[in-house]
Amino acid sequence: MLKYFPKKHQKILRLSIPAAINSLLDMLQVITDLIMVGRISAFAVAAVGLGLQSLTFMFAILTLLHVGTSALLSRFVGAGLMMRASTGLSTLLRFALFLSFPMMLLWYVLSSNVYVWFGTVPEVVVLGEDYVQMLTLMLPFVFVKLVFVTALNAAGDTKTSMYIKIGSIFFNIFLNYLFIFGHFGFPELGVMGAALATVIVNILETLIYIWLYTKRKMPYIPMWQYSESLMKRALKVGIPASFERTLTFGSFMLFTVIIAHNGTEVLAGYQIGLRVEGLAFMPGIGFTVAAMALMGQGLGAKKPLQAREDVLLVLKYTIGFMFFLSFFMVFMPEQIVWFFTDDAQTIEEASLYLRIVGLSQIPLAFNFVLSGALRGAGDTKRTLKISLVSLWFVRIIPAFVLSWYFDNIMVVYFAMISDTLVKAVWLWKTFDKGQWMRVKV
């Protein structure tokens, strides 16, 4: 079907579509957990939703690996330096494994306090503590897997990750069926069953990537070398991006605390709304992967104007896809939310959230693609500045003040979409100036 598109579009779509599907399946894997535990209680939904959201704070550390790997390897690939790219991959794999163990230990210790910090009711705290502690066991595998996925994306191969994810999501659903509800002789573990299934699936995915790597079924040459100079280059762009993501997720945590004070139903509705909205994110994330790879490859080949042209074409596709999906969020949210829960109040709260954020999908497309392109160019300090200023002075502080003054969840959501719009305008102006063409990685 892609053969009917112009060649320039084919290149972008071959990168973007598998990456978008892979991201969609990642989200569906999370959503299936919420759907299945949603049949238990609203407390179970809140526990799983908050657990996954709190763990993304740890995943912010992964941004260091993700952005550093993409910016470094895509430039080597664009320049045709595959041996150099292979050394970079080996270096980043060793660093990821080394980094994962202290992070796993840290989060395992902190996880017992996460639900208390959110101010949730005791029922959610009890369910959530064990859930998050179980998930921390998969962190070493997740760290290594992310480097493999990013390296493949940087080389223009987004299909391999998509095929692996297709198999894993079906296996995850099967394991959920066994462990959550206790079928075929397995114990009924409830929320803990969802965590156990997620851990097993992530371990198996990582083992598949290791097999492909060692059997030379990737563009990279398998080795176990470490280059301090390449690691420093990756950290140069990865650390600001990781710092940005860490503070961003920390800000989101505070935002969630504000919402949690409006009650369990509002919190559960917000968590479900986030997962449904995540489905609309998937085209944006897929095209962001393409923007990062094309930007890095273009700069590596000394063709910055071509890189700019590719990114703008990616942006047009992203706007079209996310505008289309926004219609479902605005006009039929109840029908979508029903798949997650049959609690009437939770459905109402989640539908309210989706209608509001559905109006901000086009600015969100700008945020995804342009921030990804700037990171792919190694211009992570500017994206850090934009993200932090907008988050705190347009979203977090206004949301806190307005929520305290008006005691209405609507004003909190208004601050949220205002942040999306401000960030979109700022990112466009930054990208249009072209200073990213002179960034050295």
Q: At what angle do helices 380-390 and 361-376 cross, to 10 degrees?
A: 150
Rounded Cα gap, residues 91 and 85, in angstroms: 10
pLDDT per position as a tens digit, 99-124: 999 988 888 777 667 666 666 666 66
Q: Give residue 18's pLDDT.
A: 87
- Burial label for 51, CB within 10 Å (0-12, 13-18, 19+), is buried
Higher-scoring residue by pLDDT: 76, 247: 76
Cα angle: 121, vertex 261, 44; to 5 degrees? 40
pLDDT per position as a tens digit, 296-346: 898 988 899 999 999 999 999 899 888 888 888 888 888 888 877 777 778
For residue 242, what pLDDT band results from cuts at 50, 70 and 90?
confident
Q: Give residue 119's pLDDT.
A: 62
Answer whether residue 233 shows pLDDT above 80: yes
Q: Give residue 356's pLDDT.
A: 86
- State mean pLDDT over 278-301: 84
Structural domain range at position 10: 2-438
Rounded Cα gap, residues 400 and 407, in angstroms: 10
Helices (H), 118-190: 122-135, 139-154, 159-181
Contact between 341 and 38 (Cβ < 8 Å): yes
Lowest mean pLDDT of 203-212, 294-303, 329-338, 369-378, name the range.
329-338
**Beta-carbon neighbour count of residue 302 at 10 Å?**
10
What is the residue-averaged pLDDT of the chain?
83
CA distances to 4, 44, 298, 314, 439 from 291, in Å: 22, 37, 10, 7, 16
Q: pTM of this prediction?
A: 0.80
Provide, rounded to the nearest whole percent, the portion of the chain with pLDDT above 70.
Answer: 89
Answer whether residue 48 shows pLDDT above 80: no
Q: Which amino acid is at 291?
A: A
Phi and psi at residue 158, in whole multiples of 5°? -105, -5
pLDDT per position as a tens digit, 52-61: 666 666 777 7
C-alpha dihedral, 370 to 374 to 375 to 377, nearest 10°: 140
Provide, rounded to the nearest whole percent, the portion of the chain with pLDDT above 90.
Answer: 29
Number of domains in the chain: 1
